[in-house]
Amino acid sequence: MRRNVLPGLRLSLGVTLFYVGLIVVLPIAALVFKAASLGPEDYWRIVSSARALASYRVTVLAALGATLFNLFFGLALAWVLVRYRFPGWRLVDAMVDLPFALPTAVAGISLTALFTANGWFGSILADFGIKVAYTPLGIMIAMCFTSLPFIVRTVQPVLEDLDPALEEAAQSLGGSDFAIFRKVILPLLTPALLAGVSLSFARCLGEFGAIIFIAGNQPMSTEITALLIFIRLEEYDYPAAAAIASVLLITALVMLALTNWMQSRALRYTVRS
């Protein structure tokens, strides 16, 4: 432990702890307290009600689908942005951040406009009998949009920093492109991919604004968990809102811990000469 020679520890740490305490810890503690005051039986009855279970199911399935799509598309996009130069690549690189910058409500209404039966995409898909808006597929597409940058932005820097000599070594040893990608590049990207996947998945589980416009919000089929909480609030059923919100909160904290752990694993190979 180094002795502190710089000034300002008390002030800066005091401000930090006060603010984190007031803004972050207090509300979360209040929520946990509220949920805990329910008693195990009531709590369990609420969080395992058929409607809640259905909401978990559609949320988790759509989040899995969206994350899986983003895993492939995000990797391909990161690869293209790092390895190839083509007219407009800077523009594409900047556009990747749009889902982060665009407010979720705006994304929600514009995706809905695109995918309703008479929208640009919806009308084409309708010809093939595919309905997107107001179906679980719409939820998935909204999730894809809002969580797309996570995987791209976690993989991109790792791919950029990949030592070119590793690839050259693999080439000099006779490896084909496919073998080098599968055995050398992909394993080195895996920690970043997993970290991106967990960030993306966590974001999908909690997403609200982008989804409620495009989802049909029908109980038991297209009602996501975040919306169910909102509905319980509007019904002034505060215990139920607290209980279901605590489920999302716990999931989020587990995902945060998981992401942290994965990112520390991502450091495993960074011992460089």
Partner 1 sequence: MSATRTGRKPPRVGDAPVFRRLLIGIVLVFVALLILAPLVIIGVEAFSKGWAVYRDTILHPDTQHAIMLTVLAALIAVPVNTAFGVAAAWAITKFDFRGRRFLLVVIEIPFSVSPIVAGVAYLFVYGLQGIFGPTLDAWDIKILFAIPGIILASMFVTAPFVARELIPLMQAQGRDLEEAATSLGASGWRTFLSVTLPNIKWALLYGVVLCNARVMGEFGAVSVVSGNIRGQTNTLPLHIELLYHDYQAAGAFASASILALIAVFTIIAKVALERQGAGRVRASDPSAANPAEKAL
Partner 2 sequence: MKIRLDHVVKTFETFRAVKDVSLEIESGELVALLGPSGSGKTTILRMVAGLEYSDGGQIYFGDQDATDIPVRDRGVGFVFQHYALFPHMTVAENIAFGMKVSKVKREKAAIEARVAELLRLVRLENLGGRFPAQISGGQRQRVALARALAVDPKVLLLDEPFGALDANVRRDLRRWLREIHSELGITTLFVTHDQEEALDLADRVVILKDGQIVQQGTPQEVCRDPKSAFVMKFLGDANVIAAEVRDGKAYASGATIAVSGLADGKAELYARPADLDWSLQGPGIPASITRVLDRPDGRRVLATVETGEHLEFDVEPERAVKAGDGGFVTLRRAKVFAIG
Shortest distance, position 96 Cβ to partner 1, whole Å: 7
Residue 272 token pair: 């460089």
Shortest distance, position 140 Cβ to partner 1, whole Å: 12
Among 93, 73, 77, CA closest to 144: 73
Tell me how far CA of residue 58 lies from CA of 22, 45, 65, 234, 235, in angstroms: 34, 19, 10, 21, 22
Residue 165, exposed/middle/buried by CB under 10 A (0-12, 13-18, 19+)?
A: exposed
Among 133, 139, 104, 106, CA closest to 225: 139
Tell me how far CA of residue 169 lies from CA of 140, 156, 173, 176, 229, in angstroms: 41, 22, 6, 12, 54
Residues 177-196 that bind partner 2 (CB under 8 A): 179-180, 183-184, 187-188
Question: Of these partners, partner 2, partner 1, none, which one is at the site of residue 82 (CB under 5 to 8 Å by kind)?
Answer: none
**Residue 97 near partner 1 by CB under 8 A:** yes
Shortest distance, position 83 Cβ to partner 1, whole Å: 6
Shortest distance, position 125 Cβ to partner 1, whole Å: 11
Q: Which stretch binds partner 1 (CB under 8 A): 19-27, 44-52, 60-68, 132-140?
A: 19-27
Q: Which stretch binds partner 1 (CB under 8 A): 39-47, 50-58, 80-88, 126-134?
A: 80-88
Question: Of these partners, partner 2, partner 1, none, which one is at the site of residue 260 (CB under 5 to 8 Å by kind)?
Answer: partner 1
Select 16 or 176, whichever has its Cβ closest to partner 2.
Answer: 176
d(CA 232, CA 244): 9
Question: Of these partners, partner 2, partner 1, none, which one is at the site of residue 272 (CB under 5 to 8 Å by kind)?
Answer: partner 2
Q: How many residues bind partner 2 (CB under 8 A)?
A: 23
Residue 17 token pair: 């702890």
**Residue 248 near partner 1 by CB under 8 A:** yes
Biggest CA–CA distance in the chain, Å, is: 71
Residues 86/120, Cβ–Cβ less than 8 Å: no
Q: Which residues bind partner 2 (CB under 8 A)?
A: 163, 165-166, 168-176, 179-180, 183-184, 187-188, 268-269, 271-273
